[in-house]
Amino acid sequence: MFYTEFSHARHRLHDGYLSAVAADLLATDPRLRDLDVEVRFDGGVAHLTGDVADDDQLRRVREALGRLAGVHGVWDRVRVAGRNPVILDIGCGECPQYPGNIGLDQRPGKAVSVVADLRNGLPVRDGSADQIFAVHVLEHLTDYLKLLDECHRVLRPGGVLHVLSPWWRHVNAVADPTHLRFFDLQTIKGICQQPAPAGRWYPQHASCDGATVFADLVAARAADPEPDPQHLARFFD
């Protein structure tokens, strides 16, 4: 499958369109209009802020925004029942995705809270994080499945892992000689089908913009049902 990469000008216009559509959705959908949340878009990624009463409300708004055509991911800093989310940013370098994220990297830096070699696991207790960002990280690892298992362990049930990696057909995938792995949407499908010691991943959302593969993966619980074929067909062949 081929994807068309947007120009910067088209991205800007498209983000404006998505912001207007999302604002209308939040104002008119009876399931969402009473929620105290706001959304903006950057590069097709929804950035959600505000307050909700419980996890079900947050899941509902994430899923609704993810259904909009042209959305590549749904990221949030939403407080649930007055609590700020605990967000890890692994391999963050000097560029955490949000201020206040807990940065983990193998080298010290201003944004790094914990110095750790990701190949050796995450020095974080079980079920302690609400979200984890792995932005342009997995492609640098020979065996990233071990790190994914660690992310599943560290996330609370229902927590979300946000993955970004270069699409294998784009020049960015091969231009960096430190890239050891290549990604496609079908790779994300394979990750979700992979039997893992830590548990399964549920693909809340997955997309490709012609340069980058995006995935929002939920740490599924043992009792959670398998995703239905219609849901999977939105993203994967």
CA distance 97 to 135: 8
Domain-by-domain residue ranges, the chain? 1-83, 86-237
Report whether 79 contacts 52 (CB < 8 A).
Answer: yes
Q: Is the pLDDT of residue 132 over 90?
A: yes
What does the pLDDT read at residue 65?
97
Q: Does an H or E element contain 174, and which?
A: helix 171-175
pLDDT for the residue numbered 207: 97
**pLDDT given at position 223:** 81
**What pLDDT sits at residue 224?**
84
CATH fold of 1-83 reads: Histidine-containing Protein; Chain: A; (3.30.1340)
* Residue tagged 């120009």 (tokens): 7
What is the per-residue pLDDT for 197?
A: 74
Q: Read off the tokens for 10.
A: 């088209």
Q: What's the predicted TM-score (pTM) here?
A: 0.95
Query: CB neighbours (10 Å) of residue 206?
Result: 25
Has residue 127 got a pLDDT over 80? yes
pLDDT at 221: 83
18-34 pLDDT, tens per residue? 999 999 999 999 999 99
Residue closest to 16 by CA, chosen among 166, 24, 64, 28: 24
Q: Does domain 86-237 have CATH number 3.40.228.10?
A: no
Cβ contact 44:18 at 8 Å: yes
- Position 195 pLDDT exceeds 80: no
Minimal CA–CA distance to 61: which of 94, 101, 23?
Answer: 23
